[in-house]
Amino acid sequence: MPRFAANLTYLFTEVPMLDRPDWAARCGFDGVEVLFPYDQPMAEWERALNGAPLALINTPPGDWASGDRGFAAVPGMELRFRDSFLRAADYATRLQAGRVHVMAGVAKGPQAELCYTENLAWALAEAPALTLSIEPLNPDDMPGYFLNDYDQAARILDDIANPRVGIQFDLWHAARLHGDAGAVWDEHRHRINHVQIAGFPARTEPGGGGFSLPDLCDAIDAHCPEVWISGEYRPAKGTAQGLGWLTALKSRGALIGG
Protein backbone atom coordinates (compact mmCIF):
# COMPACT_ATOMS: atom_id res chain seq x y z
CA MET A 1 0.00 0.00 0.00
CA PRO A 2 1.36 3.49 -0.80
CA ARG A 3 2.52 5.75 1.98
CA PHE A 4 0.56 8.95 2.57
CA ALA A 5 2.06 12.21 3.81
CA ALA A 6 0.39 15.34 5.11
CA ASN A 7 1.68 18.61 3.71
CA LEU A 8 2.03 20.60 6.92
CA THR A 9 2.14 23.94 5.12
CA TYR A 10 -1.45 23.37 3.92
CA LEU A 11 -2.94 20.96 6.47
CA PHE A 12 -3.53 21.21 10.23
CA THR A 13 -3.12 24.98 10.14
CA GLU A 14 -5.49 25.06 13.12
CA VAL A 15 -2.44 24.45 15.33
CA PRO A 16 1.17 25.76 15.36
CA MET A 17 3.57 24.25 12.83
CA LEU A 18 5.53 22.12 15.27
CA ASP A 19 2.33 20.57 16.65
CA ARG A 20 1.23 19.43 13.19
CA PRO A 21 3.34 16.23 12.85
CA ASP A 22 1.62 14.76 15.90
CA TRP A 23 -1.81 15.66 14.57
CA ALA A 24 -0.96 14.11 11.20
CA ALA A 25 0.11 10.85 12.84
CA ARG A 26 -3.02 10.68 14.99
CA CYS A 27 -5.18 11.24 11.89
CA GLY A 28 -3.66 8.30 10.01
CA PHE A 29 -0.90 9.79 7.88
CA ASP A 30 2.28 7.74 7.51
CA GLY A 31 4.56 10.79 7.34
CA VAL A 32 4.66 14.47 6.54
CA GLU A 33 6.17 16.99 4.16
CA VAL A 34 6.73 20.70 4.71
CA LEU A 35 7.49 23.23 2.02
CA PHE A 36 9.84 25.49 3.96
CA PRO A 37 10.98 24.22 7.37
CA TYR A 38 13.55 26.96 7.85
CA ASP A 39 11.69 29.15 10.35
CA GLN A 40 12.23 26.50 13.02
CA PRO A 41 15.60 25.12 14.16
CA MET A 42 16.44 21.56 13.16
CA ALA A 43 16.49 20.42 16.79
CA GLU A 44 12.90 21.59 17.25
CA TRP A 45 11.86 19.74 14.10
CA GLU A 46 13.54 16.57 15.36
CA ARG A 47 11.49 16.76 18.56
CA ALA A 48 8.29 17.55 16.67
CA LEU A 49 8.72 14.76 14.14
CA ASN A 50 9.55 12.26 16.89
CA GLY A 51 10.66 9.68 14.36
CA ALA A 52 7.91 10.31 11.80
CA PRO A 53 9.20 10.17 8.21
CA LEU A 54 9.71 13.50 6.46
CA ALA A 55 8.91 12.85 2.81
CA LEU A 56 9.96 16.14 1.24
CA ILE A 57 11.15 19.71 1.76
CA ASN A 58 11.74 22.53 -0.74
CA THR A 59 14.88 24.55 -1.21
CA PRO A 60 14.55 28.03 0.32
CA PRO A 61 12.67 30.33 -2.08
CA GLY A 62 14.29 33.62 -1.07
CA ASP A 63 12.04 36.61 -0.34
CA TRP A 64 8.62 35.24 -1.21
CA ALA A 65 6.83 38.55 -0.66
CA SER A 66 9.15 40.21 -3.19
CA GLY A 67 8.51 37.53 -5.80
CA ASP A 68 11.42 35.13 -5.26
CA ARG A 69 10.55 31.51 -6.08
CA GLY A 70 13.98 29.93 -5.78
CA PHE A 71 17.11 30.53 -7.85
CA ALA A 72 18.17 27.34 -9.64
CA ALA A 73 17.20 28.58 -13.14
CA VAL A 74 18.01 32.26 -12.63
CA PRO A 75 21.19 33.28 -14.51
CA GLY A 76 23.52 35.33 -12.36
CA MET A 77 22.15 33.86 -9.11
CA GLU A 78 24.31 30.75 -9.05
CA LEU A 79 25.98 31.60 -5.74
CA ARG A 80 22.62 32.43 -4.15
CA PHE A 81 21.27 29.09 -5.35
CA ARG A 82 24.24 27.16 -4.01
CA ASP A 83 23.96 28.77 -0.59
CA SER A 84 20.24 28.02 -0.45
CA PHE A 85 20.72 24.45 -1.63
CA LEU A 86 23.37 23.76 0.99
CA ARG A 87 20.98 25.00 3.66
CA ALA A 88 18.29 22.67 2.35
CA ALA A 89 20.77 19.80 2.22
CA ASP A 90 21.66 20.38 5.88
CA TYR A 91 18.00 20.21 6.90
CA ALA A 92 17.30 17.22 4.67
CA THR A 93 20.29 15.28 5.99
CA ARG A 94 19.63 16.03 9.65
CA LEU A 95 15.89 15.34 9.37
CA GLN A 96 16.31 12.42 6.94
CA ALA A 97 14.04 13.95 4.31
CA GLY A 98 13.25 11.60 1.44
CA ARG A 99 13.29 14.30 -1.26
CA VAL A 100 14.47 17.87 -1.80
CA HIS A 101 12.41 19.83 -4.31
CA VAL A 102 14.78 22.21 -6.12
CA MET A 103 12.84 25.38 -6.86
CA ALA A 104 13.66 26.85 -10.27
CA GLY A 105 12.67 30.48 -9.77
CA VAL A 106 11.30 33.14 -12.09
CA ALA A 107 13.15 33.05 -15.40
CA LYS A 108 12.73 32.10 -19.06
CA GLY A 109 14.68 31.19 -22.15
CA PRO A 110 17.55 28.91 -23.18
CA GLN A 111 20.04 30.52 -20.81
CA ALA A 112 17.74 29.82 -17.88
CA GLU A 113 17.42 26.17 -18.92
CA LEU A 114 21.18 25.83 -19.17
CA CYS A 115 21.56 27.45 -15.74
CA TYR A 116 18.95 25.11 -14.26
CA THR A 117 20.57 22.01 -15.74
CA GLU A 118 24.02 23.00 -14.53
CA ASN A 119 22.79 23.85 -11.04
CA LEU A 120 20.93 20.55 -10.74
CA ALA A 121 24.04 18.65 -11.83
CA TRP A 122 26.09 20.58 -9.25
CA ALA A 123 23.53 19.82 -6.51
CA LEU A 124 23.52 16.10 -7.31
CA ALA A 125 27.32 16.01 -7.08
CA GLU A 126 27.41 18.15 -3.93
CA ALA A 127 24.87 16.02 -2.04
CA PRO A 128 25.35 12.43 -3.25
CA ALA A 129 23.16 10.97 -0.50
CA LEU A 130 20.09 13.04 -1.38
CA THR A 131 17.30 12.47 -3.89
CA LEU A 132 16.01 15.59 -5.69
CA SER A 133 12.82 16.49 -7.47
CA ILE A 134 11.69 19.20 -9.89
CA GLU A 135 8.07 20.32 -10.20
CA PRO A 136 6.29 22.04 -13.10
CA LEU A 137 4.03 24.78 -11.68
CA ASN A 138 1.14 26.48 -13.43
CA PRO A 139 1.52 30.18 -14.34
CA ASP A 140 -1.75 31.27 -12.71
CA ASP A 141 -0.52 30.24 -9.27
CA MET A 142 3.16 30.90 -9.97
CA PRO A 143 3.54 33.70 -12.57
CA GLY A 144 6.82 33.63 -14.46
CA TYR A 145 8.02 30.37 -12.92
CA PHE A 146 10.60 28.80 -15.22
CA LEU A 147 9.49 25.17 -15.04
CA ASN A 148 5.91 25.18 -16.33
CA ASP A 149 5.57 22.12 -18.58
CA TYR A 150 6.02 18.39 -18.00
CA ASP A 151 7.67 17.80 -21.37
CA GLN A 152 10.14 20.55 -20.49
CA ALA A 153 10.88 18.82 -17.18
CA ALA A 154 11.36 15.50 -18.97
CA ARG A 155 13.83 17.05 -21.41
CA ILE A 156 15.88 18.50 -18.55
CA LEU A 157 15.95 15.17 -16.73
CA ASP A 158 16.98 13.37 -19.89
CA ASP A 159 19.86 15.84 -20.30
CA ILE A 160 21.01 15.26 -16.72
CA ALA A 161 20.55 11.47 -16.92
CA ASN A 162 20.83 10.88 -13.17
CA PRO A 163 18.34 8.57 -11.40
CA ARG A 164 18.56 10.60 -8.18
CA VAL A 165 16.44 13.41 -9.64
CA GLY A 166 12.86 12.96 -10.83
CA ILE A 167 9.60 14.76 -11.48
CA GLN A 168 7.35 15.82 -8.64
CA PHE A 169 3.85 15.10 -9.97
CA ASP A 170 1.33 17.52 -8.48
CA LEU A 171 -2.16 16.54 -9.60
CA TRP A 172 -3.42 20.10 -9.27
CA HIS A 173 -0.64 21.70 -11.30
CA ALA A 174 -0.72 18.92 -13.93
CA ALA A 175 -4.43 19.50 -14.48
CA ARG A 176 -4.01 23.28 -14.64
CA LEU A 177 -1.09 23.02 -17.07
CA HIS A 178 -2.25 20.28 -19.40
CA GLY A 179 -5.94 19.68 -18.78
CA ASP A 180 -5.73 15.89 -18.48
CA ALA A 181 -3.68 14.97 -15.42
CA GLY A 182 -4.15 11.29 -16.16
CA ALA A 183 -2.46 11.65 -19.53
CA VAL A 184 0.44 13.49 -17.86
CA TRP A 185 0.81 10.64 -15.36
CA ASP A 186 0.74 8.01 -18.09
CA GLU A 187 3.35 9.85 -20.15
CA HIS A 188 5.81 10.62 -17.37
CA ARG A 189 5.25 8.19 -14.52
CA HIS A 190 8.59 6.44 -15.10
CA ARG A 191 10.24 9.78 -14.22
CA ILE A 192 8.05 10.59 -11.20
CA ASN A 193 9.54 10.24 -7.70
CA HIS A 194 7.00 12.14 -5.58
CA VAL A 195 3.23 12.72 -5.86
CA GLN A 196 0.99 15.46 -4.45
CA ILE A 197 -2.78 15.34 -4.69
CA ALA A 198 -5.70 17.72 -4.33
CA GLY A 199 -9.27 17.99 -5.58
CA PHE A 200 -9.90 19.63 -8.92
CA PRO A 201 -10.95 22.32 -9.69
CA ALA A 202 -11.30 23.71 -6.16
CA ARG A 203 -7.98 22.41 -4.71
CA THR A 204 -9.80 21.18 -1.63
CA GLU A 205 -9.92 17.54 -0.46
CA PRO A 206 -8.59 15.07 -3.07
CA GLY A 207 -11.03 13.55 -5.55
CA GLY A 208 -12.78 14.32 -8.81
CA GLY A 209 -11.40 15.94 -11.91
CA GLY A 210 -11.58 12.71 -13.91
CA PHE A 211 -8.52 11.29 -12.15
CA SER A 212 -8.75 7.96 -10.34
CA LEU A 213 -6.93 8.01 -7.01
CA PRO A 214 -7.40 4.23 -6.52
CA ASP A 215 -5.75 3.62 -9.89
CA LEU A 216 -2.92 5.96 -8.89
CA CYS A 217 -2.41 3.99 -5.67
CA ASP A 218 -2.39 0.71 -7.59
CA ALA A 219 0.21 2.02 -10.06
CA ILE A 220 2.49 3.29 -7.30
CA ASP A 221 2.10 0.09 -5.30
CA ALA A 222 2.97 -2.03 -8.33
CA HIS A 223 5.72 -0.02 -9.99
CA CYS A 224 7.24 2.54 -7.61
CA PRO A 225 6.47 1.71 -3.96
CA GLU A 226 9.12 4.16 -2.74
CA VAL A 227 7.00 7.10 -3.96
CA TRP A 228 5.01 9.02 -1.37
CA ILE A 229 1.51 10.41 -2.00
CA SER A 230 1.13 13.72 -0.21
CA GLY A 231 -2.06 15.62 0.45
CA GLU A 232 -1.33 19.20 -0.59
CA TYR A 233 -4.66 21.00 -0.64
CA ARG A 234 -6.72 23.62 1.16
CA PRO A 235 -9.21 21.92 3.48
CA ALA A 236 -12.79 23.03 2.89
CA LYS A 237 -13.40 23.05 6.65
CA GLY A 238 -11.29 21.60 9.44
CA THR A 239 -8.46 19.34 8.31
CA ALA A 240 -9.46 16.33 10.41
CA GLN A 241 -13.10 16.51 9.31
CA GLY A 242 -12.12 16.22 5.64
CA LEU A 243 -9.96 13.09 5.74
CA GLY A 244 -12.52 10.66 4.37
CA TRP A 245 -10.41 10.36 1.22
CA LEU A 246 -7.44 9.13 3.28
CA THR A 247 -9.53 6.63 5.23
CA ALA A 248 -11.05 5.28 2.01
CA LEU A 249 -7.75 4.83 0.22
CA LYS A 250 -6.02 3.25 3.20
CA SER A 251 -8.95 0.95 3.90
CA ARG A 252 -8.98 -0.13 0.27
CA GLY A 253 -5.27 -0.90 0.42
CA ALA A 254 -5.69 -2.90 3.61
CA LEU A 255 -8.45 -4.99 2.00
CA ILE A 256 -6.33 -5.68 -1.07
CA GLY A 257 -3.32 -6.53 1.07
CA GLY A 258 -5.39 -8.86 3.19
**Average pLDDT by stretches of 10, the chain with 258 residues:** 96 98 98 98 98 98 95 98 98 97 98 98 98 97 97 96 97 94 94 96 90 93 93 96 96 52
Please say if 113 is a catalytic residue. no
Domains of the chain: 3-257 (3.20.20.150)
The pLDDT value recorded for residue 208 is 82
Cis peptide before 201 (omega within 30 of 0): yes
Question: Regarding beta strands 228-231 and 192-197, do their DSSP bridges make them parallel or antiparallel, or are they unpaired?
Answer: parallel
Enter the pTM of the model: 0.95
The pLDDT value recorded for residue 119 is 98
Q: Show the beta-strand stretches assigned E in the chain.
A: 3-7, 31-33, 56-58, 99-101, 132-134, 165-170, 192-197, 228-231
Element (H, E) at 120: helix 110-126
- Rg (C-alpha) for the chain, rounded Å, is 17
Q: Which of 33, 113, 135, 205 is an active site residue?
A: 135
CB under 8 Å to 237, separation ≥6 — which residues? Answer: none
Please say if 135 is a catalytic residue. yes
